[in-house]
A and B are shown apart, each in its own frame.
Chain A
Amino acid sequence: MTGYFHRIARDSWAVCKGMWVTLRTLVKPSITVQYPTEKLTPEPMFRGVLLYDVERCTACGLCAKACPSNCISLQNQVNEAGKRAPKAAWYAIDLGRCSWCRLCEESCPFKPKVVWHSIDYELVFWSRDEMVRCWKPGTPLAGWVHDPKKDAFRDPSGQVVIQEVPARHDEKGPKHD
């Protein structure tokens, strides 16, 4: 009989302890962020959307080799003599296949890197065609996307909310202010 009452008392006490925890949490400030009116800034190491600097690239192809998903493809320029020139004629990344593994950035022999992860984590597409980003000499870092309706390349800013954050080139911090 005492065991019965002891059990009732113990269980009631356990419930009270649980309720005390929720009550304590109730009066503490919340820890969530009100996305999208509040946006977090990722850490500098964050692996976001890939950016590419076509001006400095020598089209060595190491990044395409390192990529586990085969999402990078490129073509180097050809000079007057018909030989390979250390310049990219075009460069394309299929972000639909990218697994954000950082292997391409690590394989790049340049410092600062020519292809690197920005800290832009917002990436929205309307169709699979838009997932492919293309670069040619003169293209901005974010690249172009192909618009199948107009059969033309255009700026990706319409499809994606690109945060206006400085791009990270290496671990020491962003190159551009």
Chain B
Amino acid sequence: MSKVDAFPGGKFDQLFVNLGPQHPSTHGVLRVGLTLEGEVITKAEPDIGYLHRGTSKLAEARGYHQCVALTDRWDYVSAMPNNLALCLAAEKLLGVEIPPRAQHLRVVMCELNRIASHLLFLGTYGIDLGAFTPFLHAFREREMILDLYEMLCGARLTYNYIRIGGVMADISPEWASKTGEFLGFFKPRMKEYDDLLSFNPIFLARTQGVGLISKEAAVDWGLSGPNLRGSGVDYDVRKSDPYSGYDRFDFSVPLGKAGSCWDRYYCRALEMRQSVRIVEAALAGLPEGDIVAKGVAKTVKPPPGEAYAHVEASRGDLGIYLVSDGGPSPYRLHVRAPSFVNLAILQEMLVGCKVADVVAILGSIDIVLGETDR
């Protein structure tokens, strides 16, 4: 971020601009109050809460199985990791062993969802910077993933697929072949995105060297996911705290160098390639067996205690803290939502930037307001 000394010596009228909640590029209902001196930002205040539904409190009146349906509504762009995080925490409380086939299926679905989520990011980021075509190109491929989900579990956005003890439905051979067809179609498309957007000189000029986050700042502000890795910090829950059998798959964690908007963007583009690798490996080595663990009742009452589980969701480290008092519903459900934590750095990053960079920086953090506000 270029810290421009705005008009040194001169005193200028400050201009207050409301960016959102109704603005074409705030990705939902985020309001950022910007104080401008000319085109330079002197103060930025993100204002959240327009989408607050109080899911933590709602969960306290629902059974554990029913809570899974609530998780779909946090990060509605990639709901599978949300389901998984809650199920992992509940399974920790219950002490259930998940059959290997179910674990593989969970990995496949989460990685497909990561591709879908990053495709949405890629497209909307292009729109933020004025390129419309990549958006619909990305959505063309995203639709195929959603079709796969519809075929598998009947929903296109709020899946409720991963359940406590396993998954909802088994995949059919038709589904597996369709997925192979999609992956075959998708691989050459990633090259097209690079041609169209990633290495476009104007795009590079807009994003490289803009919105820099140093390694230290990224760690200090508690960033996670591609935002953290874009700054070059090698932290991925899939590697550092493997869950659901991720340690059995061979994949690498792409890291950015400078921590600029482009690094965060390209981290996601590279992560899609790794997700394709994981999906292919997981489908090739899919073990036979049950998809639901035995001994999980329709109404579960875990023994009193607490559990924390975290997964690498599409936007970062999604943590679930569950406290059980032995009753049929959680005593306390706390969500460490990556979007919420990632958004906090915005108020520091934006100061000193040009107003035209706000959109580039805000887009590169890739927040979902459903998760931020919960």
Contact = CB atoms under 8 A, between A and B. Distances in A.
Given A11-B201, A14-B201, A25 B69 contact: no
Interface in A119-166: none
A68 B150 contact: no
Interface in B50-67: 62-63, 65-67
A45 B153 CA distance: 6
B192 interface: yes
Contact of B62 (A68, A102, A117): A68
Given A66-B66, A68-B62, A15 B201 contact: yes
A22 B196 contact: yes
Interface stretch (B154-162, B229-237, B304-312, B359-367): B154-162
Q: How big is chain B's contact interface, by range?
A: 20 to 34
A21 B154 contact: no
B150 A66 contact: no
Contacts of A62: 298
B65 A66 contact: yes
B70 A68 contact: yes
B345 interface: no
Nearest to B73: A99
Interface in B135-174: 137, 140, 143, 147, 150-155, 158, 160, 168-169
B90 to A, nearest CB: 14
B201 A46 contact: no
Contact of A47 (B147, B155, B199): B155
B150 A18 contact: no
Contacts of B197: 18
B195 interface: yes
A78 interface: no
A43 B200 contact: no
A66 B297 CA distance: 12
B2 interface: no
A100 B158 contact: yes
Interface string A29-60: 00100000000001101110000000000000
A18 B196 contact: yes
A102 to B, nearest CB: 6
Contacts of A17: 195, 199
